[in-house]
Structure 1
Protein backbone atom coordinates (compact mmCIF):
# COMPACT_ATOMS: atom_id res chain seq x y z
CA UNK A 1 0.00 0.00 0.00
CA UNK A 2 1.47 3.32 -1.10
CA UNK A 3 0.73 6.27 1.14
CA UNK A 4 1.03 9.93 0.23
CA UNK A 5 2.80 12.08 2.79
CA UNK A 6 3.82 15.68 2.22
CA UNK A 7 7.51 16.16 3.03
CA UNK A 8 7.29 19.95 3.18
CA UNK A 9 5.40 22.56 5.17
CA UNK A 10 4.43 24.45 2.01
CA UNK A 11 3.93 22.25 -1.04
CA UNK A 12 2.77 22.59 -4.62
CA UNK A 13 1.07 24.30 -6.19
CA UNK A 14 -0.92 21.27 -7.29
CA UNK A 15 -4.10 20.97 -9.32
CA UNK A 16 -7.00 19.99 -7.06
CA UNK A 17 -10.10 18.24 -8.35
CA UNK A 18 -12.26 20.62 -6.34
CA UNK A 19 -10.21 23.78 -5.76
CA UNK A 20 -8.14 24.50 -8.87
CA UNK A 21 -4.48 25.60 -8.58
CA UNK A 22 -3.83 25.01 -4.90
CA UNK A 23 -0.79 25.91 -2.82
CA UNK A 24 -0.80 23.51 0.11
CA UNK A 25 0.16 24.06 3.74
CA UNK A 26 0.93 21.09 5.98
CA UNK A 27 0.81 21.91 9.70
CA UNK A 28 1.66 18.33 10.70
CA UNK A 29 5.01 16.49 10.77
CA UNK A 30 6.63 16.05 7.36
CA UNK A 31 7.53 12.43 8.08
CA UNK A 32 4.31 11.07 9.54
CA UNK A 33 0.62 11.52 10.17
CA UNK A 34 -1.25 13.16 13.08
CA UNK A 35 -5.04 13.04 12.95
CA UNK A 36 -8.09 12.89 15.21
CA UNK A 37 -9.77 10.56 12.69
CA UNK A 38 -8.39 7.32 11.28
CA UNK A 39 -10.38 7.15 8.05
CA UNK A 40 -10.24 3.84 6.25
CA UNK A 41 -9.83 5.64 2.91
CA UNK A 42 -7.14 8.17 3.93
CA UNK A 43 -4.40 8.60 1.31
CA UNK A 44 -1.93 9.31 4.15
CA UNK A 45 -2.48 5.82 5.53
CA UNK A 46 -3.68 4.67 8.94
CA UNK A 47 -2.58 6.49 12.08
CA UNK A 48 -0.68 3.52 13.46
CA UNK A 49 1.50 3.42 10.34
CA UNK A 50 2.31 7.13 10.45
CA UNK A 51 3.51 7.57 14.01
CA UNK A 52 6.47 9.88 14.36
CA UNK A 53 8.40 11.66 17.08
CA UNK A 54 8.82 14.77 14.97
CA UNK A 55 7.40 18.03 16.26
CA UNK A 56 4.83 20.19 14.53
CA UNK A 57 6.23 23.14 12.58
CA UNK A 58 6.22 26.40 14.55
CA UNK A 59 4.00 29.32 13.64
CA UNK A 60 7.12 31.32 12.77
CA UNK A 61 8.43 28.60 10.48
CA UNK A 62 5.10 28.27 8.65
CA UNK A 63 4.97 32.05 8.10
CA UNK A 64 8.56 32.18 6.84
CA UNK A 65 8.14 29.33 4.35
CA UNK A 66 4.79 30.62 3.08
CA UNK A 67 6.18 34.13 2.59
CA UNK A 68 9.20 32.83 0.69
CA UNK A 69 7.00 30.67 -1.55
CA UNK A 70 4.52 33.47 -2.30
CA UNK A 71 7.39 35.86 -3.04
CA UNK A 72 8.83 33.35 -5.51
CA UNK A 73 5.45 32.79 -7.17
CA UNK A 74 4.87 36.52 -7.46
CA UNK A 75 8.26 36.90 -9.16
CA UNK A 76 7.31 34.30 -11.79
CA UNK A 77 3.75 35.56 -12.21
CA UNK A 78 2.27 32.21 -11.17
CA UNK A 79 -0.76 32.91 -9.01
CA UNK A 80 -2.58 30.30 -6.90
CA UNK A 81 -6.35 30.05 -6.98
CA UNK A 82 -6.32 28.98 -3.36
CA UNK A 83 -4.00 28.48 -0.39
CA UNK A 84 -5.14 25.21 1.16
CA UNK A 85 -4.51 23.84 4.65
CA UNK A 86 -4.42 20.07 4.26
CA UNK A 87 -1.35 17.85 4.61
CA UNK A 88 -0.58 14.86 6.79
CA UNK A 89 -3.62 14.81 9.06
CA UNK A 90 -5.94 17.33 10.71
CA UNK A 91 -4.63 20.93 10.44
CA UNK A 92 -6.79 22.31 13.26
CA UNK A 93 -4.89 20.15 15.76
CA UNK A 94 -2.01 22.62 15.57
CA UNK A 95 -1.97 24.64 18.84
CA UNK A 96 -1.27 27.89 16.93
CA UNK A 97 -3.87 27.26 14.22
CA UNK A 98 -5.65 30.57 14.83
CA UNK A 99 -2.45 32.61 14.69
CA UNK A 100 -1.29 30.80 11.56
CA UNK A 101 -4.57 31.64 9.86
CA UNK A 102 -4.06 35.31 10.81
CA UNK A 103 -0.54 35.24 9.30
CA UNK A 104 -1.80 33.54 6.14
CA UNK A 105 -4.52 36.12 5.60
CA UNK A 106 -1.96 38.93 5.90
CA UNK A 107 0.42 37.27 3.43
CA UNK A 108 -2.38 36.44 0.99
CA UNK A 109 -3.54 40.05 1.06
CA UNK A 110 0.03 41.22 0.41
CA UNK A 111 0.94 38.92 -2.49
CA UNK A 112 -2.22 37.47 -4.07
CA UNK A 113 -5.33 39.25 -2.74
CA UNK A 114 -7.58 37.41 -5.21
CA UNK A 115 -6.53 33.98 -3.91
CA UNK A 116 -8.84 32.20 -1.52
CA UNK A 117 -7.81 30.52 1.71
CA UNK A 118 -9.29 27.07 2.31
CA UNK A 119 -9.08 24.62 5.18
CA UNK A 120 -9.82 20.92 4.71
CA UNK A 121 -10.93 19.76 8.15
CA UNK A 122 -12.62 16.73 9.68
CA UNK A 123 -14.54 19.10 12.01
CA UNK A 124 -13.43 17.33 15.19
CA UNK A 125 -12.05 20.49 16.81
CA UNK A 126 -15.01 22.80 16.37
CA UNK A 127 -15.61 22.76 20.12
CA UNK A 128 -12.47 24.88 20.48
CA UNK A 129 -13.49 28.53 20.17
CA UNK A 130 -10.16 29.57 18.65
CA UNK A 131 -10.48 26.96 15.92
CA UNK A 132 -14.10 27.84 15.20
CA UNK A 133 -13.35 31.57 15.01
CA UNK A 134 -10.35 30.98 12.73
CA UNK A 135 -12.46 28.88 10.36
CA UNK A 136 -14.97 31.72 10.16
CA UNK A 137 -12.19 33.96 8.82
CA UNK A 138 -11.16 31.81 5.86
CA UNK A 139 -12.90 31.89 2.49
CA UNK A 140 -13.64 28.17 2.33
CA UNK A 141 -14.05 26.14 5.51
CA UNK A 142 -14.47 22.68 3.97
CA UNK A 143 -15.72 20.37 6.68
CA UNK A 144 -16.21 16.61 6.62
CA UNK A 145 -19.57 14.91 7.06
CA UNK A 146 -19.38 11.35 5.74
CA UNK A 147 -22.41 10.06 7.64
CA UNK A 148 -24.87 11.01 10.37
CA UNK A 149 -24.92 7.47 11.73
CA UNK A 150 -22.59 7.16 14.71
CA UNK A 151 -22.04 3.52 13.86
CA UNK A 152 -21.08 4.38 10.30
CA UNK A 153 -18.83 7.24 11.45
CA UNK A 154 -16.96 4.84 13.73
CA UNK A 155 -16.66 2.39 10.86
CA UNK A 156 -15.50 4.85 8.17
CA UNK A 157 -13.83 7.69 10.09
CA UNK A 158 -12.82 5.93 13.33
CA UNK A 159 -12.62 9.09 15.51
CA UNK A 160 -10.06 9.00 18.32
CA UNK A 161 -12.53 10.46 20.80
CA UNK A 162 -15.09 7.94 22.10
CA UNK A 163 -17.51 10.81 22.75
CA UNK A 164 -17.55 12.08 19.16
CA UNK A 165 -21.10 11.91 17.82
CA UNK A 166 -23.02 13.15 14.80
CA UNK A 167 -25.64 15.06 16.81
CA UNK A 168 -23.04 17.41 18.29
CA UNK A 169 -21.23 17.62 14.96
CA UNK A 170 -24.33 18.73 13.07
CA UNK A 171 -25.12 21.27 15.78
CA UNK A 172 -21.59 22.70 15.58
CA UNK A 173 -21.71 22.84 11.77
CA UNK A 174 -25.01 24.71 11.90
CA UNK A 175 -23.30 27.47 13.91
CA UNK A 176 -21.42 28.55 10.78
CA UNK A 177 -24.74 30.12 9.72
CA UNK A 178 -24.51 29.08 6.09
CA UNK A 179 -20.80 29.82 5.61
CA UNK A 180 -19.51 26.23 5.82
CA UNK A 181 -18.83 23.95 2.87
CA UNK A 182 -19.70 20.32 3.55
CA UNK A 183 -17.51 17.63 2.01
CA UNK A 184 -18.67 14.02 1.89
CA UNK A 185 -16.80 10.94 0.74
CA UNK A 186 -19.11 8.25 -0.62
CA UNK A 187 -17.81 4.69 -0.81
CA UNK A 188 -18.76 1.05 -0.63
CA UNK A 189 -17.02 -2.14 0.34
CA UNK A 190 -16.35 -4.51 3.18
CA UNK A 191 -14.58 -4.09 6.51
CA UNK A 192 -13.91 -7.04 8.80
CA UNK A 193 -16.84 -8.94 7.35
CA UNK A 194 -19.29 -6.01 7.58
CA UNK A 195 -20.70 -3.98 4.72
CA UNK A 196 -19.39 -0.45 4.26
CA UNK A 197 -21.89 1.67 2.35
CA UNK A 198 -22.95 5.25 3.03
CA UNK A 199 -25.00 5.48 -0.17
CA UNK A 200 -28.07 3.57 1.06
CA UNK A 201 -31.48 5.23 1.09
CA UNK A 202 -31.36 5.49 4.89
CA UNK A 203 -27.90 7.08 4.83
CA UNK A 204 -28.83 9.60 2.13
CA UNK A 205 -32.06 10.58 3.88
CA UNK A 206 -30.19 11.24 7.13
CA UNK A 207 -27.49 13.15 5.26
CA UNK A 208 -30.07 15.36 3.53
CA UNK A 209 -31.82 16.01 6.85
CA UNK A 210 -28.49 17.08 8.35
CA UNK A 211 -27.84 19.43 5.43
CA UNK A 212 -31.20 21.06 6.09
CA UNK A 213 -30.08 21.83 9.63
CA UNK A 214 -26.57 22.94 8.67
CA UNK A 215 -27.61 24.98 5.60
CA UNK A 216 -24.13 24.92 4.03
CA UNK A 217 -23.07 27.38 1.35
CA UNK A 218 -21.97 24.49 -0.83
CA UNK A 219 -21.76 20.71 -0.76
CA UNK A 220 -18.85 18.76 -2.26
CA UNK A 221 -19.33 15.06 -2.85
CA UNK A 222 -16.62 12.75 -4.08
CA UNK A 223 -15.39 9.19 -4.00
CA UNK A 224 -12.16 7.21 -3.75
CA UNK A 225 -9.49 8.49 -6.13
CA UNK A 226 -6.32 6.80 -4.84
CA UNK A 227 -5.22 3.57 -3.19
CA UNK A 228 -6.74 3.15 0.28
CA UNK A 229 -5.02 1.76 3.40
CA UNK A 230 -7.95 -0.60 4.00
CA UNK A 231 -8.62 -3.04 1.20
CA UNK A 232 -12.01 -4.13 -0.18
CA UNK A 233 -13.22 -0.54 -0.63
CA UNK A 234 -14.81 0.56 -3.88
CA UNK A 235 -15.42 3.77 -5.75
CA UNK A 236 -18.96 4.98 -6.18
CA UNK A 237 -19.74 5.60 -9.84
CA UNK A 238 -20.17 9.06 -11.31
CA UNK A 239 -23.77 8.15 -12.11
CA UNK A 240 -24.49 7.19 -8.50
CA UNK A 241 -22.91 10.41 -7.24
CA UNK A 242 -25.04 12.44 -9.64
CA UNK A 243 -28.18 10.77 -8.29
CA UNK A 244 -27.15 11.68 -4.73
CA UNK A 245 -26.35 15.21 -5.87
CA UNK A 246 -29.78 15.49 -7.49
CA UNK A 247 -31.50 14.69 -4.17
CA UNK A 248 -29.55 17.50 -2.50
CA UNK A 249 -30.11 19.95 -5.36
CA UNK A 250 -33.86 19.40 -5.14
CA UNK A 251 -33.60 20.72 -1.58
CA UNK A 252 -31.89 23.86 -2.89
CA UNK A 253 -28.25 23.02 -2.16
CA UNK A 254 -25.39 23.82 -4.52
CA UNK A 255 -23.54 20.55 -5.10
CA UNK A 256 -20.29 19.76 -6.91
CA UNK A 257 -19.41 16.20 -7.90
CA UNK A 258 -15.90 14.73 -8.25
CA UNK A 259 -15.59 11.15 -9.42
Structure 2
Protein backbone atom coordinates (compact mmCIF):
# COMPACT_ATOMS: atom_id res chain seq x y z
CA UNK A 1 0.00 0.00 0.00
CA UNK A 2 2.98 2.33 0.44
CA UNK A 3 2.90 5.06 -2.20
CA UNK A 4 4.95 8.18 -2.72
CA UNK A 5 4.76 11.82 -3.77
CA UNK A 6 7.30 13.94 -5.61
CA UNK A 7 8.48 16.58 -3.14
CA UNK A 8 10.14 18.94 -5.65
CA UNK A 9 9.17 20.87 -8.77
CA UNK A 10 12.12 19.40 -10.69
CA UNK A 11 13.07 15.80 -9.92
CA UNK A 12 15.58 13.34 -11.28
CA UNK A 13 16.96 12.71 -13.73
CA UNK A 14 15.78 9.11 -13.53
CA UNK A 15 16.02 6.17 -15.90
CA UNK A 16 12.49 5.80 -17.26
CA UNK A 17 11.20 2.45 -18.47
CA UNK A 18 9.63 4.16 -21.46
CA UNK A 19 11.51 7.39 -22.14
CA UNK A 20 15.19 6.97 -21.29
CA UNK A 21 17.05 9.48 -19.08
CA UNK A 22 14.17 11.65 -17.93
CA UNK A 23 14.23 14.93 -16.01
CA UNK A 24 10.84 15.28 -14.34
CA UNK A 25 8.68 18.34 -13.78
CA UNK A 26 5.96 18.26 -11.12
CA UNK A 27 3.45 21.09 -11.60
CA UNK A 28 1.22 19.85 -8.78
CA UNK A 29 1.57 20.51 -5.03
CA UNK A 30 4.60 18.86 -3.45
CA UNK A 31 2.67 17.55 -0.45
CA UNK A 32 -0.53 16.21 -2.02
CA UNK A 33 -1.84 14.45 -5.08
CA UNK A 34 -4.10 16.52 -7.36
CA UNK A 35 -5.74 14.74 -10.26
CA UNK A 36 -8.93 14.59 -12.29
CA UNK A 37 -8.69 10.79 -11.98
CA UNK A 38 -8.29 8.78 -8.80
CA UNK A 39 -6.82 5.64 -10.35
CA UNK A 40 -6.90 2.56 -8.15
CA UNK A 41 -3.33 1.73 -9.26
CA UNK A 42 -1.76 5.19 -8.89
CA UNK A 43 1.72 5.16 -7.35
CA UNK A 44 0.94 8.54 -5.77
CA UNK A 45 -1.98 7.11 -3.80
CA UNK A 46 -5.45 8.62 -3.47
CA UNK A 47 -6.65 12.17 -3.99
CA UNK A 48 -7.30 13.96 -0.68
CA UNK A 49 -10.76 13.25 0.72
CA UNK A 50 -11.27 16.89 1.69
CA UNK A 51 -11.11 19.82 -0.72
CA UNK A 52 -8.42 22.40 -0.13
CA UNK A 53 -7.05 25.53 -1.74
CA UNK A 54 -4.50 24.55 -4.35
CA UNK A 55 -1.29 26.56 -4.52
CA UNK A 56 0.13 25.76 -7.93
CA UNK A 57 3.81 26.39 -8.52
CA UNK A 58 4.00 29.78 -10.28
CA UNK A 59 5.04 29.72 -13.92
CA UNK A 60 8.07 31.93 -13.26
CA UNK A 61 9.30 29.63 -10.49
CA UNK A 62 8.95 26.54 -12.67
CA UNK A 63 10.94 28.26 -15.41
CA UNK A 64 13.67 29.35 -12.97
CA UNK A 65 14.02 25.90 -11.40
CA UNK A 66 14.12 24.15 -14.78
CA UNK A 67 16.73 26.49 -16.21
CA UNK A 68 18.85 26.12 -13.08
CA UNK A 69 18.73 22.31 -13.20
CA UNK A 70 19.45 22.05 -16.93
CA UNK A 71 22.46 24.35 -16.60
CA UNK A 72 23.68 22.26 -13.68
CA UNK A 73 23.35 19.09 -15.77
CA UNK A 74 25.18 20.71 -18.68
CA UNK A 75 28.06 21.75 -16.43
CA UNK A 76 28.28 18.14 -15.18
CA UNK A 77 28.22 16.72 -18.71
CA UNK A 78 24.91 14.97 -18.09
CA UNK A 79 22.28 15.29 -20.83
CA UNK A 80 18.62 14.28 -20.51
CA UNK A 81 16.92 12.30 -23.25
CA UNK A 82 13.61 13.88 -22.30
CA UNK A 83 12.07 16.52 -20.06
CA UNK A 84 8.91 14.92 -18.69
CA UNK A 85 5.83 16.55 -17.18
CA UNK A 86 4.49 14.01 -14.67
CA UNK A 87 4.49 14.27 -10.88
CA UNK A 88 1.70 14.22 -8.33
CA UNK A 89 -1.32 14.04 -10.62
CA UNK A 90 -2.55 15.58 -13.86
CA UNK A 91 -0.08 18.24 -15.12
CA UNK A 92 -2.58 19.82 -17.52
CA UNK A 93 -4.67 20.97 -14.56
CA UNK A 94 -2.13 23.74 -13.92
CA UNK A 95 -3.80 27.02 -14.99
CA UNK A 96 -0.57 28.18 -16.68
CA UNK A 97 0.19 24.86 -18.35
CA UNK A 98 0.30 26.26 -21.90
CA UNK A 99 2.69 29.06 -20.94
CA UNK A 100 4.92 26.64 -19.01
CA UNK A 101 5.17 24.46 -22.13
CA UNK A 102 6.28 27.53 -24.12
CA UNK A 103 8.90 28.34 -21.47
CA UNK A 104 10.16 24.76 -21.46
CA UNK A 105 10.55 24.71 -25.23
CA UNK A 106 12.48 27.99 -25.07
CA UNK A 107 14.85 26.77 -22.34
CA UNK A 108 15.29 23.33 -23.92
CA UNK A 109 16.23 24.91 -27.26
CA UNK A 110 18.92 27.01 -25.57
CA UNK A 111 20.51 24.39 -23.33
CA UNK A 112 19.70 20.88 -24.61
CA UNK A 113 18.16 21.26 -28.09
CA UNK A 114 18.34 17.50 -28.70
CA UNK A 115 16.16 16.66 -25.68
CA UNK A 116 12.52 15.78 -26.22
CA UNK A 117 9.67 17.18 -24.17
CA UNK A 118 7.07 14.70 -22.92
CA UNK A 119 3.75 15.12 -21.15
CA UNK A 120 2.14 12.17 -19.36
CA UNK A 121 -1.55 13.07 -19.19
CA UNK A 122 -4.85 11.33 -18.57
CA UNK A 123 -6.46 13.32 -21.43
CA UNK A 124 -9.20 14.86 -19.28
CA UNK A 125 -8.11 18.42 -20.08
CA UNK A 126 -7.76 18.13 -23.87
CA UNK A 127 -11.15 19.78 -24.41
CA UNK A 128 -9.45 23.07 -23.43
CA UNK A 129 -8.04 24.76 -26.57
CA UNK A 130 -4.90 26.07 -24.86
CA UNK A 131 -4.08 22.64 -23.43
CA UNK A 132 -4.75 20.94 -26.77
CA UNK A 133 -2.50 23.42 -28.59
CA UNK A 134 0.27 23.07 -25.98
CA UNK A 135 0.25 19.28 -26.22
CA UNK A 136 0.55 19.55 -29.98
CA UNK A 137 3.85 21.42 -29.51
CA UNK A 138 5.72 18.69 -27.61
CA UNK A 139 7.55 15.71 -29.09
CA UNK A 140 5.98 13.11 -26.80
CA UNK A 141 2.30 13.83 -26.24
CA UNK A 142 1.41 10.73 -24.19
CA UNK A 143 -2.27 10.32 -23.35
CA UNK A 144 -4.06 7.65 -21.35
CA UNK A 145 -6.74 5.22 -22.55
CA UNK A 146 -7.06 2.36 -20.07
CA UNK A 147 -9.59 0.09 -21.73
CA UNK A 148 -12.17 -0.62 -24.38
CA UNK A 149 -15.33 -0.29 -22.30
CA UNK A 150 -16.41 2.91 -20.60
CA UNK A 151 -17.32 1.04 -17.41
CA UNK A 152 -13.90 -0.59 -17.28
CA UNK A 153 -12.12 2.74 -17.59
CA UNK A 154 -14.32 4.26 -14.90
CA UNK A 155 -13.63 1.31 -12.58
CA UNK A 156 -9.86 1.61 -13.11
CA UNK A 157 -9.44 5.36 -13.31
CA UNK A 158 -12.20 6.56 -10.97
CA UNK A 159 -12.83 9.94 -12.70
CA UNK A 160 -13.44 12.80 -10.29
CA UNK A 161 -16.05 14.26 -12.66
CA UNK A 162 -17.99 12.75 -15.52
CA UNK A 163 -16.28 10.62 -18.15
CA UNK A 164 -17.56 9.97 -21.65
CA UNK A 165 -15.51 7.46 -23.63
CA UNK A 166 -16.97 8.35 -27.03
CA UNK A 167 -16.20 12.03 -26.52
CA UNK A 168 -12.69 11.25 -25.28
CA UNK A 169 -11.91 9.10 -28.32
CA UNK A 170 -13.24 11.83 -30.61
CA UNK A 171 -11.02 14.45 -28.96
CA UNK A 172 -7.99 12.16 -29.11
CA UNK A 173 -8.57 11.66 -32.82
CA UNK A 174 -8.34 15.42 -33.36
CA UNK A 175 -4.57 15.29 -32.72
CA UNK A 176 -4.35 13.72 -36.19
CA UNK A 177 -1.81 11.16 -35.05
CA UNK A 178 0.40 13.56 -33.09
CA UNK A 179 0.10 11.53 -29.89
CA UNK A 180 1.04 8.32 -28.15
CA UNK A 181 -1.64 6.27 -26.41
CA UNK A 182 -0.57 4.83 -23.07
CA UNK A 183 -2.53 1.94 -21.55
CA UNK A 184 -1.94 0.21 -18.24
CA UNK A 185 -3.10 -3.41 -18.09
CA UNK A 186 -3.98 -4.92 -14.77
CA UNK A 187 -5.94 -7.67 -13.04
CA UNK A 188 -7.39 -8.05 -9.57
CA UNK A 189 -10.33 -7.07 -7.43
CA UNK A 190 -11.66 -3.79 -6.10
CA UNK A 191 -14.62 -3.42 -3.74
CA UNK A 192 -15.68 -6.98 -4.41
CA UNK A 193 -15.68 -6.60 -8.19
CA UNK A 194 -13.28 -8.26 -10.64
CA UNK A 195 -10.89 -5.93 -12.45
CA UNK A 196 -9.38 -7.13 -15.75
CA UNK A 197 -8.84 -5.05 -18.91
CA UNK A 198 -7.00 -7.85 -20.74
CA UNK A 199 -9.99 -9.93 -21.92
CA UNK A 200 -10.41 -10.43 -25.66
CA UNK A 201 -13.66 -8.46 -25.65
CA UNK A 202 -11.97 -5.57 -23.90
CA UNK A 203 -8.95 -5.65 -26.24
CA UNK A 204 -11.13 -5.79 -29.37
CA UNK A 205 -13.04 -2.67 -28.32
CA UNK A 206 -9.79 -0.91 -27.33
CA UNK A 207 -8.31 -1.70 -30.75
CA UNK A 208 -11.35 -0.13 -32.42
CA UNK A 209 -10.69 3.04 -30.44
CA UNK A 210 -7.05 3.01 -31.55
CA UNK A 211 -8.15 2.75 -35.17
CA UNK A 212 -10.23 5.90 -34.74
CA UNK A 213 -7.48 7.77 -32.87
CA UNK A 214 -4.60 6.69 -35.15
CA UNK A 215 -1.75 7.30 -32.66
CA UNK A 216 1.82 7.18 -33.90
CA UNK A 217 2.68 4.77 -31.08
CA UNK A 218 1.01 2.72 -28.37
CA UNK A 219 2.69 2.18 -24.99
CA UNK A 220 1.45 -0.78 -22.98
CA UNK A 221 2.63 -1.49 -19.47
CA UNK A 222 1.61 -2.81 -16.07
CA UNK A 223 2.19 -1.85 -12.46
CA UNK A 224 5.77 -1.80 -11.19
CA UNK A 225 5.34 -0.09 -7.80
CA UNK A 226 3.01 -0.33 -4.83
CA UNK A 227 -0.60 0.66 -5.42
CA UNK A 228 -3.21 2.03 -3.00
CA UNK A 229 -5.35 -1.07 -3.64
CA UNK A 230 -3.55 -4.20 -2.45
CA UNK A 231 -5.70 -6.68 -4.40
CA UNK A 232 -4.30 -5.69 -7.81
CA UNK A 233 -1.90 -7.87 -9.79
CA UNK A 234 0.57 -7.04 -12.51
CA UNK A 235 0.04 -8.52 -15.97
CA UNK A 236 2.75 -10.95 -17.05
CA UNK A 237 5.07 -10.15 -19.95
CA UNK A 238 3.59 -12.99 -22.00
CA UNK A 239 0.15 -11.35 -21.85
CA UNK A 240 1.58 -7.92 -22.71
CA UNK A 241 3.35 -9.44 -25.71
CA UNK A 242 0.08 -11.03 -26.84
CA UNK A 243 -1.65 -7.67 -26.68
CA UNK A 244 1.26 -5.93 -28.40
CA UNK A 245 1.07 -8.41 -31.28
CA UNK A 246 -2.59 -7.51 -31.84
CA UNK A 247 -1.75 -3.80 -31.76
CA UNK A 248 1.04 -4.27 -34.29
CA UNK A 249 -1.23 -6.38 -36.51
CA UNK A 250 -3.63 -3.43 -36.47
CA UNK A 251 -0.83 -1.27 -37.87
CA UNK A 252 0.51 0.59 -34.83
CA UNK A 253 4.04 0.78 -33.46
CA UNK A 254 4.07 -0.64 -29.94
CA UNK A 255 6.32 -0.33 -26.90
CA UNK A 256 6.10 -2.70 -23.96
CA UNK A 257 7.16 -1.84 -20.42
CA UNK A 258 6.90 -4.93 -18.20
Same fold, TM-score > 0.5, yes or no: yes
Distance 1:51 1:71, change over 3 A: farther
CA drift of 1:49 comes to 6.2
C-alpha distance in structure 2 between counterparts of 1:222 and 1:231, whole Å: 18
1:221 paired residue number: 220
2:89 paired residue number: 89
2:245 paired residue number: 246
C-alpha distance in structure 1 between counterparts of 2:169 and 2:204, whole Å: 14
Q: CA RMSD in A?
A: 1.1
Q: Which runs of 5+ in 1 are unaligned?
A: none
C-alpha distance in structure 2 between counterparts of 1:229 and 1:215, whole Å: 33
1:23 paired residue number: 23
C-alpha distance in structure 2 between counterparts of 1:111 and 1:50, whole Å: 41
**8 Å CA contact 2:148, 2:207 repeated in 1:** no
Q: Which runs of 5+ in 2 are unaligned?
A: none
**1:77 partner SS:** coil
**2:141 partner SS:** strand
1:138 paired residue number: 138
TM-score (norm: length of structure 1):
0.97
Moved over 2 A (4+): 48-54
**1:48 partner SS:** coil
**1:66 partner SS:** helix
Distance 1:30 1:182, change over 3 A: same
C-alpha distance in structure 2 between counterparts of 1:34 and 1:26, whole Å: 11
Deviations along 1:70-122, one digit per CA (max 9) or x if unpaired, are 11111111000000000000000000000000000000000000000000000
C-alpha distance in structure 2 between counterparts of 1:195 and 1:105, whole Å: 43
1:42 paired residue number: 42
CA drift of 1:228 comes to 0.6
CA drift of 1:149 comes to 1.4
2:201 paired residue number: 202
CA drift of 1:51 comes to 6.8
C-alpha distance in structure 1 between counterparts of 2:184 and 2:49, whole Å: 22
For 1:186-201, what aligned pairs fall within 5 Å after superposition?
A: 186-201=185-200
Deviations along 1:139-165, one digit per CA (max 9) or x if unpaired, are 000000001312111110011112x11
For 1:67-86, what aligned pairs fall within 5 Å after superposition?
A: 67-86=67-86
C-alpha distance in structure 2 between counterparts of 1:248 and 1:150, whole Å: 20
C-alpha distance in structure 1 between counterparts of 2:52 and 2:120, whole Å: 22
**2:255 partner SS:** strand
C-alpha distance in structure 1 between counterparts of 2:159 and 2:40, whole Å: 11
**8 Å CA contact 1:179, 1:217 repeated in 2:** yes
1:129 paired residue number: 129
Deviations along 1:20-63, one digit per CA (max 9) or x if unpaired, are 00000000001111000000000000113697655110000000
**8 Å CA contact 1:33, 1:50 repeated in 2:** no
C-alpha distance in structure 2 between counterparts of 1:62 and 1:156, whole Å: 31
Say how many residue pairs are matched: 258
CA drift of 1:231 comes to 1.6
TM-score (norm: length of structure 2):
0.98
**8 Å CA contact 1:118, 1:142 repeated in 2:** yes
* 1:152 equivalent in alignment to 2:148: no
